[in-house]
């Protein structure tokens, strides 16, 4: 079996900035078809799926392909999700704006109602959710070992053959969460997961 070399954080192929730079790959459809479906749904739709399935990546890609998009991130431990959402909306919001909300499941029923009310004068509202129901589903994001393998070949082409034997077990262990898989692969390259990396890496 070929081996991989441990590396510095800046050279790690699974560093977060490299993962964040991956473009979403539409599964069984095209970007034109997705945007047509979004227009058919009057720009009110949900991107649904479990954690680590690519919802955020898809939402950001849709926003980049939409004129006058407003991308709202409900992150930050010190700010309530509703406050974070409202403060990121343009004032005034107009009919040319389409609001894209990441992690909308963080909003409770009242918070979700208030966000919809605040965005009501915009062209539409698109959100990522773990479960369907709040908006019509545009896409359900799913993952597979084949997709994980494809992304590993893109991120670490020289080492993909050495990593391939551990990917299926890693995928199952993390319940299909690709982001957790990438975090574990980062640790393999950093030399932190010696039990996983045994036989895979050499001294870099």
Q: What per-residue confidence (pLDDT) applies to 85?
A: 85
**Average pLDDT of every residue of the chain:** 88
Same-domain status, 181 and 93: no
Same-domain status, 97 and 191: no
Judge whether residue 53 has pLDDT over 50: yes
Judge whether residue 188 has pLDDT over 90: no
184 beta partners: none
Same-domain status, 156 and 184: yes
Nearest to 135 by CA among 105, 159, 165, 168: 105
Same-domain status, 18 and 66: no
Confidence of residue 195 (pLDDT cuts 50, 70, 90): very low
> Angle CA(82)–CA(127)–CA(108) in degrees, nearest 5?
35
Q: What per-residue confidence (pLDDT) applies to 30?
A: 92
Q: Are 13 and 187 in contact (CB under 8 A)?
A: no
């Amino acid at each position: 079996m070929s081996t991989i070399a441990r590396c510095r954080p800046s050279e790690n192929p699974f560093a977060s900035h490299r993962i964040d730079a991956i473009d979403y790959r539409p599964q069984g459809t095209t970007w034109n078809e997705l945007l047509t479906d979004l227009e058919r749904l009057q720009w009110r739709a949900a991107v649904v799926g479990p954690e680590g399935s690519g919802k955020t990546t898809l939402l950001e890609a849709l926003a980049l392909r939409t004129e006058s998009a407003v991308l709202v991130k409900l992150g930050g431990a010190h700010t309530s999700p509703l406050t974070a959402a409202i403060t990121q909306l343009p004032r005034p919001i107009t009919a040319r704006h389409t609001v894209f909300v990441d992690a909308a499941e963080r909003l409770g029923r009242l918070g979700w109602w208030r966000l919809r009310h605040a965005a009501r004068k915009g062209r539409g509202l698109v959100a990522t959710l773990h479960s369907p129901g709040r908006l019509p589903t545009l896409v359900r994001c799913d993952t597979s070992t084949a997709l994980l393998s494809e992304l590993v070949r893109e991120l670490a082409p020289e080492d993909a053959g050495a990593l391939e034997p551990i990917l299926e077990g890693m995928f199952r262990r993390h319940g299909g969460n690709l982001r957790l898989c990438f975090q574990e692969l980062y640790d393999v390259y950093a030399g932190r997961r010696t039990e996983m990396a045994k036989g895979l890496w050499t001294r870099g």
